[in-house]
Structure 1
Amino acid sequence: MRVCLFLDGANFFYMQRDCLRWWTDPKKILDFVRTKGELVDAFYYMGVDAPPEARQEAYLKALPTMGYTLVTKTLKNILLSDGTRKQKANLDVEIVLDMFNTIDHYDMAVLISGDGDFERPLQLLRARGKRFFVMSTNGVVAEEIISCPHN
């Protein structure tokens, strides 16, 4: 079975910080995904500061050496209604584009994200004969993902 990993970096970060309260080695994620079959691609999607701070830059440099294809977008400052600012770099569109642009290269997509926006893309993957495996945690995973029939 050919497997492709799509890791939503922001979702992964909050999953670890807020729910698990421990940090996962991205290399071990690759090792785990390899237990599902032949890992043909691994994409890591991440919002980055402009310019990246030293710690973030070191992480960005390490990911490709581990085996990830890094897809980044500059973080944007968003003004919230209460006057506070939030940084955001939504990469959901990039994830879905890569899922379908590489669809002929894999039999199973592994998605690390609990974002409910992925319900429809997962349904479409199934309709195209692809299997999928979603990795997330309680507190981050959307109900749409939990109730989405999987293989």
Structure 2
Amino acid sequence: MFNDEKLRNLYKNQRVAVFLDIQNLYYSARDAYNRKVNFEKVLSLVLNDRILLRAIAYLVKLQGVDQKGFINTLKHIGYQVRVKEPKIFKSTDEAGNIWTTIKADWDMGIAMDAISLAEKIDVAVLVSGDGDFTDLVRYLHTKGVKVEIAAFKLTAAKELIEVADEFIDLSSFGEDVFL
């Protein structure tokens, strides 16, 4: 039987990729706790002294907001930052009203990156509570990848928590995950 020290040493050799859904985490922290996220601390907590192969942060560009400082901070922390422009769709209803819809998410990009890295990692840490990732988790399991979900339990999709190998409730770390 393994004692705790042997298990710790075993886990320290795990090759980990972290996929950070910034919008999901940001809005979850804002809406549930009225707080901002300490992304550096989140990376440290989910990595847990294991081998980091890649940490990717996915950001949607906000119109009229200078995000250069934030992006530079994320890069300094150790994240590769991917930025996407939102898509704006305009439509008119039967009454002639013009509706604007903004579509901006990284679900497909996160899934593609996770799939492309699956052969090189032991653990994928998906920092998001978005239930749309449930099928991605199932797929990564077929490739032998352990999947950990890190999110705030209050806002995480139940089906995502259930399919994960491990759920890391970021709120359990208290003030450490907030700025």
Q: TM-score, normalised by structure 1?
A: 0.86
Whole-angstrom CA distance in 2 between matches of 1:7 and 1:76? 21
Conserved? CA contact 1:132–1:150, under 8 Å? yes
Provide closer, same or farther for how the CA distance between residues 84 and 10 of structure 1 changes in structure 2, counting only shifts above 3 A: farther
Q: Is 1:65 aligned with 2:67?
A: no
Which is higher, the Rg of structure 1 or of structure 2?
Answer: 2
Deviation per CA, 1:1-40: give whole Å up to 9, x if none: 1111001111011111011322221111121122151111
Q: Which residue of 1 aligns with 2:137?
A: 122
**Inter-CA distance 66–117: structure 2 relative to 1 (3 Å threshold):** same
For 2:65, the equivalent position in structure 1 comes to 53
Contact 1:3 1:36 in 2 (8 A): no
- Pick the aligned partner of 2:124 from 76, 91, 109: 109
- The amino acid that maps onto 2:86 is L
Q: How does 1:90-105 map to 2 (within 5 A)?
A: 90-105=105-120
Instruction: Describe how 1:27-46 pairs up with structure 2 within 5 A.
Output: 27-35=40-48, 37-46=50-59
Pairing 1:4–2:4 present = no
Contact kept? 2:119, 2:143, Cα under 8 Å: no
Structure showing greater relative contact order (alpha-carbon pairs closer than 8 Å, 6 or more residues apart): 1
Aligned positions, number? 149
C-alpha spacing 1:36/1:86, structure 2 compared with 1 (3 Å)? farther
What secondary structure does 2:88 align onto? Answer: strand
Aligned to 2:169: none
Structure 2 counterpart of 1:133 = 148
Unaligned 5+ residue runs, structure 2? 1-13, 167-179
* 1:27-80 CA-partner distances (Å, limit 9, x unpaired): 111211221511111010010035x623x2210122111110111111233569
1:74 matched residue in structure 2: 85
For 2:126 and 2:98, how far apart are their aligned partners in 1?
34
- CA distance in structure 1 between the partners assigned to 2:101 and 2:22 by the alignment: 17
Q: TM-score, normalised by structure 2?
A: 0.74
